[in-house]
Structures are given as structure tokens and as C-alpha cells.
Homo-oligomer: A and B are copies of this chain.
Amino acid sequence: QMPRGNLETVHHRALVLAQLRVWLDNLKFRQAFECMRKLRINLNLIYDHNPKVFLDNTKMLITQLNTINHINLFLTELKEEDTTSSMYPRPEGSPIGLQLVSGQKKVDVVCDALRSMMESMDPNKFCLSILTSHVKKTVPELEIALQKVHELRENPPQVPGAVTAEEALKYLLFLVNVNDLYEHSLGTYDFDLVLMVAEKSQKDPKEYLPFLNMLKSLEPNYQRYTIDKHLKRYRKALLHLSQCGPEHFPEALQLVKEQKLYSEALKLYVADAAQYKALSCAYGEHLVEQQQAEQAGLLLWRCGETARALQAFASSSSWRNAICVAQQIPLPSDQLALLARDLAEKLTEQRRYSEAALLLDQYAKDCEEAILALITGAVWEEALRLIYMHNRQDITETNLKPALLEAASTQSFFLETQAATFTRHRTRLAVVREQKEKARLDMLDEDGPDLPDAELYSEASSVMTGSKYSHSNSRISSRSSKNRRKAERKKLSLKEGNPLEDKALMHALGEIITTVDKMREEVHSLLKALVLFQFDKQAEKLQLSYDQALQMMEAAVPEVWPDNLCNNQATLTGPNSTANSIMASFQQQQQQRPVASQPDVEFPMAPKMRNGVKWKLTLF
């Protein structure tokens, strides 16, 4: 928008801006405004130059701009952008602008500030500018503007030269799309206002008059509902419809379902009303569709829809609630037992053996199945408790003891394979790191000694080997961080030669440690059960394997996750360091950090071992 072909006008802008800043600093808004208008400088600068001064001197500004047209011009040109950081950078060293409270918009702040000043100075004189300030807000306040026009018509101000309602409306129509204005006038539920806008709008009266007359004939709440619905303001529509009496409830329910206004609707009806129940049922259906069957169950239960609640709870494995509802109904005991069995089966599939056993024991009255579930789930102590409770010591011999022995050998075997994989990965990691280090040193040798800081090229190897992966980096960076992490994990392949193989190995090693560390509780309870049944040899073997595995992994942590991958930076500098010592220790760190490559994938963190969880027996 610069005048073209005239280099002089382009070139003297720096001088112009300097002059403008002087004027603005001296509150010479008039001069500044005139000059900016002439040279097509963005008027936002009047505010952006020094927001605080601007806001403190709105009266001065309005007085100096003087005419409605000037003020409107300024208001309509307002943009959220800060021109001092885009088009007209501040000279260096000048103070920085006012920070807005987070969430506040510049345009809204300026509009509100100017409007309140104009209203206090002369609401009649500045009428059109006041309307502009409403319309220009981030979310235009059309209803308020319309209300003011309506006010002008109802009580025309008795001052000479005051704006008439006609003029004001014309002006509004110039600022805002006529259909928007018509819709918003409807939203005020004020038919006078609607008619006024409609008349000015060049709309066909045959079009709008029948609609308005139909609306006028309606009961007030239903009228407002109809308008709200027409304007797609469904929450308001529901509110008004809910006040129309029970005969309109089916319509309300329909609206709630269509617009998914369930939780809003529940707040509008009394909890023990029939409508509340109907809404709860509808909401329940919706929640079930949304995979929220448990919450559906709660709503259905509390409004007395026990059968449907039971179904919802059962389908979401919310077994305690399901059983409670069943007992409230009350289900006959054979059906309750059947329900308990069904629930137990689902829980077993989810490996929730203790809960399954409780159902089988207490509701299906089948202690044998309960005990077997506990044995399957390796819940040894609880299995034994039920065995003694129901005097079924025979199961100890037929099932418990064999299961204990099998568990001991399974666990021992599992620990062996985990330890073997761990050692394999660890050895390979050392090889990969050495290769990377070697590749780095080779690079240095090639570049020779004329490059004294060549040692910093520690990324060299990764760049060399990483070429087939590197093209994807830009694509990844634009993804969400969640997707990025997923993509990263995919790149962490253990395939030999993958440039991220070192990180993949660290990741795999961390996973093994976490898996093995998680076994503490399980191993502890198995060890106790083995000892109880005199399987000391098996217990001792398992304890030894587990102890060795844990010790081996703990000892490997400092090697696999060396400190200097992360924390050792702090030693780099200090009050006694010189530029040389810093560079030296910095280079040393580069060398100690053998895998500092591929900055787009983070280093897998060292897993935390739960050494506080005591699992070992002192018996052996």
C-alpha cells in the first residue's frame, strides 16, 4: 500500500516515524493522526507506540481527533497485531510496551476505553463512534448496539444535532452485514427493534412479516425458545423450552438428544420428576454409546431405572455396582449367581482374579471356582484363606502345590531369559558406542590438525549413517508432541546398524529393568508360599535368580545411562575456570558422551528401581 514509483516517499518513512514518535510522546495526537492518514501509516501505531500513555490520555485523544469520522476511522482500523513489532519496529533502547493481562485483547481494551470516555464526555455527540466501538469488538456486541438504536427511537435526545435512530441504524447497516444485524435483533426478543432493522434492510416484508407475526402469537417462553432455536442458540432455547410446561417436554427431550445437551438439561429439571428420569435414560443411552457405560449406570440407578442400570454396569465390568443394583431389584438368588459368574468371567479375562474370586465365592457360592481363580492369578495367600475358610484342604494338594511349583520354575526361566537378553543388549550397546566414537575420531583424522575445534564434530557419525532417516525430521517436527513420541518410538528399532540403535538398546534395557523390577511383590509372595509348603530348594533357587538379576541390572545402570548424558554439565564453568579450561572440559564432555547424536530423539531415561520394596526372605 505504499505509493509506488516514488522512492523519496518510501525513504523518508524513518524520519516520519521519528517525528510521529515525538508527537505521540508529546500527546500531539492531532498532528500524528493527520500525518499518518496522509502518508498511509497504520493508525494502530497511535496505541502501540505507548499503550500506557494512550490509555491514560483517551480524553485528550478524543478531544484532539474531534470529529466522529476521525474517531471511527481509528476504531475501524484497529487490529490485534502490534505494529511496533511488525511494521514499525521500535528504535533500540526504547521502553517496551504495556503487557496486557493474559486473555485481554488489545482491540477490546481500546474500544472499551474510548467508549467509556466518550460516554462520559458526550454520548449524543459521539453516538456513532460509540456504536462503532461496540461493533468493532472481537466478539461484536451487536445486541447492545441495537439496543442503543432502539433507545434513540424510543427517547430521541432533545439536543440539537443529535443523531436520530434512523441515522444510527443506517450507520450500523453500513458497518455490519444486514442479515447478521437482523438475526441479532431477533435475539433481543424485541419486535420493535426487529421491525426497525427489517424495514431498513431492504428485506421483503412478505418474507419476514409472517414469521414475526407467528412469533408474536406464541407464549413468551415458547416464543423465545423458537427464536433461540432459529438462531441456533440451543442452550438458551432449552432453558426457555424447559419453562414452557410439561406438555412441551417431548420437544425438549428431542432438542436435548439432537444437540447433546444432557448435562445442561438435568440441571433444569427436578431430580424426582418424570422428565428427569426420561432425560437420565436418554443420557444413559448416549453415554453407553460413548463407551461410558459405568457413568450411564450411575445416572440410571439413581433415577430408579434399575434394570437398565444393571445392564450398563455389567457391560462395563463395574461389578460392585452391578451386584448392588441386582440386590436392590432384588434378583432371585439363582439369577444373582448367574450374574456373578458372568461378571467373574469378564474379570478373569481382564486378569482381575481377586475380584472374580470374590464374586464366585460370595455371590455364585462356588468356593472351588473361586479358589481356582485365585490360584490361576497367583494370589496365593488369598487362595489359602478361602481353602481354610471353606475347609477345602484337598485343593491344596490337587491344585495349589502343583501351581506353586510351576510358578517357581516359570519365574526362574523368565528371569533367565530376561537376564540373557539384557546382557546381549548391553554388550551390543558397548559395541555400537565404540563404533560411533571410532567414526567420530576417523572424521577428525580426515579433517586433520588445521581444524583445532574439530573434536566438536561429535555428531559426525550420526550424520553419516543417519541420511536415510534425516529427511523425515522436518515432517516429524510439525506433528503434535504425542504423535512425535510415537514416531520416535517407531524409529527406535533394534535392527543392527540403525543410526538410533544405541537409543533403541537403552530403551529396551530400560524396559527389561522395569519389567523385572515390577516382579518384586509377586516373587515375594511366591517365595513365602513355597516356604510354607516346604519347597525350600525351589524358593532358594528363585530367590537367587531374582537377586542376581536385580543386582546385575542395578550394576549396569551407570554404564548404560552414564551421568554425563545429562547432569554433569554443571562442572563446566566456575569462578576459577578460564576460557581454555572451559573449552577443554567441554571437549572432554563431548568425548565422554559417546551417544550424543540425533538431537530429535531424546535419551531414554534410566528407570527407577524400587529398592524400597523388600521382597527377599532372610530364611536362606
Q: Which residues of A contact B (CB under 8 A)?
A: 263, 266-267, 271, 287, 290, 292, 294-295, 298-299, 301-302, 320-321, 323-324, 327-328, 362, 381-382, 384-385, 387-389, 391, 452-453, 456-460, 463, 528, 531-534, 536, 566-567, 569-575, 577-579, 582, 586, 590, 593, 596-599, 602-603, 617-620
Q: How far is the CA of A452 from the CA of B583 in the complex (A)?
A: 14
Does B457 lie within 8 Å of A575, measured CB to CB?
A: yes
Q: How far is the CA of A566 from the CA of B564 in the complex (A)?
A: 10
Contact of A573 among B263, B459, B528, B603 (CB under 8 A): B459
Q: Which 5 A-B pairs have the closest CB atoms?
A: A570-B599, A453-B579, A324-B388, A320-B381, A327-B388
Contact of A266 among B453, B536, B575 (CB under 8 A): B536
Does A602 lie within 8 Å of B567, measured CB to CB?
A: yes
**Given A263-B619, A295-B619, A302-B532; A362-B384 close (CB under 8 Å):** no
Q: How far is the CA of A382 from the CA of B598 in the complex (A)?
A: 51
Does B384 lie within 8 Å of A324, measured CB to CB?
A: yes
Does A294 lie within 8 Å of B567, measured CB to CB?
A: no
A532 contact set on B, CB distance < 8 A: 298, 301-302
Q: How far is the CA of A387 from the CA of B458 in the complex (A)?
A: 68
Contact of A596 among B534, B569, B582 (CB under 8 A): B569
CB distance from A394 to the nearest CB of B (A): 14
Instruction: Add 5 more A-B contacts to A267-B536, A457-B573 (CB < 8 A).
Output: A287-B618, A298-B532, A299-B619, A323-B389, A569-B569
Does B582 lie within 8 Å of A570, measured CB to CB?
A: no
A321 contact set on B, CB distance < 8 A: 381, 384
Does B299 lie within 8 Å of A531, measured CB to CB?
A: yes
Copies of the protein in its oligomer: 2
A536 contact set on B, CB distance < 8 A: 266-267
A-B pairs with beta carbons under 8 Å apart, 8 shown: A271-B534, A287-B619, A453-B578, A456-B577, A456-B579, A459-B570, A459-B575, A569-B569
A302 contact set on B, CB distance < 8 A: 531-534
A597 contact set on B, CB distance < 8 A: 570
A593 contact set on B, CB distance < 8 A: 569
Of the listed residues A267, A532, A570, the one surrounded by the most CB atoms of chain B closer than 10 A to its CB is A570
Does A385 lie within 8 Å of B320, measured CB to CB?
A: yes
A571 contact set on B, CB distance < 8 A: 599
Of the listed residues A385, A571, A596, the one surrounded by the most CB atoms of chain B closer than 10 A to its CB is A385
A599 contact set on B, CB distance < 8 A: 570-571, 574
CB distance from A436 to the nearest CB of B (A): 13
Q: How far is the CA of A533 from the CA of B596 in the complex (A)?
A: 57
Does B292 lie within 8 Å of A382, measured CB to CB?
A: no
Does A295 lie within 8 Å of B528, measured CB to CB?
A: yes
Does A596 lie within 8 Å of B618, measured CB to CB?
A: no
A324 contact set on B, CB distance < 8 A: 384-385, 387-388
Contact of A382 among B294, B320, B528 (CB under 8 A): B320
Does A570 lie within 8 Å of B586, measured CB to CB?
A: no
Does A263 lie within 8 Å of B575, measured CB to CB?
A: no
Q: How far is the CA of A295 from the CA of B620 in the complex (A)?
A: 11
